[in-house]
Amino acid sequence: MRTLITVMPFILLACGRPPTRIELNEGAQRLPVDSSVDEEATVQEEEDELVPEDLLVENEEEKAEPEEAQFAEDPERLSLNVVFHLGDSQLWKDEASLKPVIVETQRILSLAKIEIIPQYTTDDAPTEMMDIYFAPEVPGRPNINGVSFGMADREIYVIDNVGLQKVDDKRPPQSDIPRYIPGAKPMMKLAITQDQAEQARTTAHEIGHQLGLPHRQDTTNLMASGTSGWTLNENEIQTMRTTAVQQFGAKNITNAMLLQED
């Protein structure tokens, strides 16, 4: 934590409240198949059946569909490597506990077609990537939700319990689970609580600062100070994308690249 004496240009007002978390229902486990079934009884005679020709065509079309839906390719999508430091946090202990926050953060950043590639560590040492520290409070700065240090330092702090002024932000009740989360499939969604959403909004807001955005007055905007707003305008999107490429080495990313990184 080398930058505590650095000038801190961006701060938020804070009032804490404990988050409640919900778990994604991963589905019930399958029971093992009964292996005592008489094998002979499972052998079936294949019989040729006469099928009208138009039905055959329909069946062919169904078979042409991929068995598993794929995430859509988008050539404009940019990757952004982010390291989450969880060693000091009392609430966000690991990748699993942080998952809803990551999912909601990604929903906001997807407005700019920026896809964070998260890594998780309990080590405090800053990296060459964007470093985000979750902690009970910002060291030496009580009563703020988060802080984004100068871009050269690439460091962000977000407190464990952020408190934001709720605005009419039309947040969807569920967010898509991004492809980089293990086991994610297209259309898989996760409900996000208000507390998780506020944590995510603050995280995305500080990432916005790192990507060159100043504060705005519009309370529904991501860069309003201390509100739950999350929208971005066209100028902000362009600034974020340009800064991500120039300062953080963001690259256009394909599904195949992501699979390799797994």
| Chain residues in the site for Zn ion (CB under 5 A) | 10
Of the pair 175, 202, the CB lying nearest Zn ion is at 202
| Min CB(235)–Zn ion separation in Å | 17
Of the pair 10, 180, the CB lying nearest Zn ion is at 10
Cα separation, 99 vs 23, in Å, equals: 9
Amino acid making up residue 174: Q
Residues ≥6 apart with Cβ < 8 Å to 35: none
Of the pair 198, 253, the CB lying nearest Zn ion is at 198
Of the pair 11, 258, the CB lying nearest Zn ion is at 11
Q: What is the DSSP string of 216-232?
A: BS-TTBTTBTTB---B-
User: What are residue 151's phi and psi, to 5 degrees?
Assistant: -60, -35
Query: Is 115 buried (19+), middle (13-18) or exposed (0-12) by CB count in 10 A?
Result: buried
Of the pair 10, 134, the CB lying nearest Zn ion is at 10
The interaxial angle of helices 95-109 and 194-210, nearest 10 deg, is 60
| Min CB(95)–Zn ion separation in Å | 26
| Min CB(225)–Zn ion separation in Å | 5
Question: Rg (Cα) of the chain, in Å, rounded?
Answer: 23
| Min CB(222)–Zn ion separation in Å | 9
Tokens 């599904």: give the residue.
Answer: 255
- Beta-ladder partners of 66: none
- Minimal CB distance residue for Zn ion: 10
| Min CB(239)–Zn ion separation in Å | 15
Do the Cβ atoms of 219 and 42 come closer than 8 Å?
Answer: no
Cα separation, 213 vs 221, in Å, equals: 11
Of the pair 179, 201, the CB lying nearest Zn ion is at 201
| Min CB(11)–Zn ion separation in Å | 7
